[in-house]
Amino acid sequence: MKLEKDISELVQIIKDDGLVIIPTDTIYGFSCLPTSNIAVDRINDLKQRGDKPFIILDTDEYRMRSYFKYAFADKIMRELIDDKVWPGKLTVIADKCSSIDYPFLSNVDTIAIRYPDNELIRSLNLKLNSGIVSTSVNGTGEKELNSISEIKRVWSDKVDHIYEDNTESSSASLIIKINSEFKEIEVVRDPETIESKEIMSKLDKIVKKCR
C-alpha cells in the first residue's frame, strides 16, 4: 500500500478527536483514538449500536504485551507472533489488564486486539503512539461497505476524513476469545476463508503448547 501525502493531515484529525474511515488489512473501518469519548460516541451514534466495545488495531509489540491480564493469554499472543499468525487477519479477545482505561471499555472486562500487517496502520500507530479503534463501516444490522464509492456516497458528510486506498481483503477477520481460566479458546466469528482455516489449524497447536 502506498501512503498518500495527506498522512500528516489524517494523524492530526485523529489527534483532534476526529472520526475517520480508513482501509485496513481486512475491510474499511471507522477509526479514532481509543481515548476519545467524542469520536467513540460518534461511531456509536452512526452505527446505532449502543455502548458496545470495539477492536483495537495495534502493531507495537511492546504495547500489545500490556493489553492482556492473564499469563495464558499473553503466552498465546507471543506464540501467535512467533508462529507468524500475527501480524494477520485474526482478532483476539481476552481479559484486559487493569491499566487499560479506555472509556468505551469501562463496563467490560475484556479487550479485542488485532495485529494487522498494514503499512497505513503501522504508520498511524507510530505517529499517534497508540492503538486505534476499528469497526466496520455500516449501521447495525446492515451489510459492511467495502466499496470506496459507496462509502463516500453514504458516509462522506458524516465523518471528518475518508482515506482512499485499497483494502487487503473483502472479508472481516477471524475472531477468537481466550478463556484463561480453562485455558481454552472460543471462535466468536469465522469468515470461513482459506486464511481463517489455516489460522485455526495453527491455533489448535498453539493452545496445546501454552497449557
DSSP 97: P
Average pLDDT along the chain: 92
Lookup: cell for 144: 459492511
Cα–Cα distance list, 113 to 67, 68, 93, 144 (Å): 8, 9, 6, 20
Lookup: cell for 174: 477471524
What is the pLDDT at residue 3?
55
Q: Which residue has the cell 469501562?
A: 106
Query: pLDDT by residue (tens digit) across 5-56?
Result: 568 899 999 999 999 999 999 999 999 999 999 999 999 999 987 777 899 9
Query: pLDDT by residue (tens digit) across 133-155?
Result: 999 999 878 888 999 999 999 99
Nearest to 29 by CA among 141, 119, 132: 132
Paired with 56 in beta bridges are 113, 133
Stretch (H or E) spanning 134: strand 132-136
What is the pLDDT at residue 4?
53
Which domains, and CATH codes, for the chain? 7-210 (3.90.870.10)
DSSP 68: B
Amino acid found at 105? L
